[in-house]
């Protein structure tokens, strides 16, 4: 029985031809061109999820602060001492600044804005109108991103 083997190239060198290398590089180039936009969308989507999580944590912290402050204002037995000290007639019950959420141990840390890492959060006061672009900074009733970039769904991050 005779064995058939691959034919050797006339030069006797094993390897790839220039044409084969060019075909492989072309295929890899097409795959990379398809993969790059998908990777960018994936990174953007993960940053958007991080923004949603940070906004949810901050807003829940503001709501918990309000509940604890109202307990202290109503002189409830389970009112916490940091809130009893903060009760005054001219306060709305919302934190004066985001830092107050950490001082009262509502939050361990203030999350950074993943869309505008160098900029602080934009806050809205309880006394601001709904369409106000600038807050009167009396307290923190709501928080939003300072980034005006567009999200994957077409909205801007500062409207979330």
C-alpha distance from residue 48 to each of 43, 143, 147 (Å): 9, 16, 12
The answer to whether residue 74 sits within a structural domain is yes
The answer to whether residue 68 sits within a structural domain is yes
The answer to whether residue 107 sits within a structural domain is yes
The answer to whether residue 38 sits within a structural domain is no
Does residue 13 have a pLDDT over 80?
A: no
For residue 150, give the 3-state DSSP assignment.
Answer: strand
Does residue 38 have a pLDDT over 60?
A: yes
Torsion of CA 34, 39, 44, 45, to 10 degrees: 100
Does residue 9 have a pLDDT over 80?
A: no
The answer to whether residue 43 sits within a structural domain is no
The answer to whether residue 27 sits within a structural domain is no
In this prediction, residue 90 carries a pLDDT of 83
> Cα 58–60–62 angle (5° rounding)?
70
pLDDT in tens, 96-147: 999 999 999 999 999 999 988 788 898 888 877 777 777 777 888 999 998 9
Of all residues in the chain, the percent with pLDDT exceeding 70 is 90
**27 CB burial (10 A radius; 0-12, 13-18, 19+):** exposed
The answer to whether residue 85 sits within a structural domain is yes
Structural domain boundaries, residue 129: 53-149
- Beta strand 122-124 pairing with 142-144: antiparallel
Determine phi and psi for 34, rounding to 5 degrees: -80, -35
- Per-residue pLDDT band for 31 (boundaries 50, 70, 90) equals confident
C-alpha distance from residue 132 to each of 63, 135, 144 (Å): 21, 7, 13
Provide the whole-model pTM.
0.74
Of all residues in the chain, the percent with pLDDT exceeding 90 is 39
Region 7-36: what's the mean pLDDT?
80
The answer to whether residue 65 sits within a structural domain is yes
- Per-residue pLDDT band for 10 (boundaries 50, 70, 90) equals low
In this prediction, residue 54 carries a pLDDT of 95
Our count of domains for the chain comes to 1
Q: For the chain, what is the mean pLDDT?
A: 86
């Amino acid at each position: 029985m005779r064995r058939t083997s691959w034919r050797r190239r006339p030069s006797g060198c094993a390897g790839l031809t220039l044409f084969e290398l060019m075909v492989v590089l072309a295929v890899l180039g097409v795959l990379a061109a398809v993969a790059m936009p998908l990777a960018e969308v994936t990174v953007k989507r993960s940053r958007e999820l991080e923004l949603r999580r940070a906004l949810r944590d901050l807003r829940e912290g503001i709501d918990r602060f309000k509940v604890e402050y109202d307990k202290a204002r109503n002189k409830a037995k389970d009112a916490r001492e940091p809130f009893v000290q903060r009760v005054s007639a001219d306060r709305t019950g919302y934190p004066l600044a985001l830092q107050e959420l950490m001082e009262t141990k509502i939050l361990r840390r203030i999350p950074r804005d993943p869309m505008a890492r160098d900029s602080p959060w934009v806050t809205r006061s309880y006394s601001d109108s709904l369409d106000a672009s600038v807050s009167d900074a009396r307290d923190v009733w709501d928080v939003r991103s300072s980034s005006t970039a567009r999200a994957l769904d077409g909205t801007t991050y500062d409207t979330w």
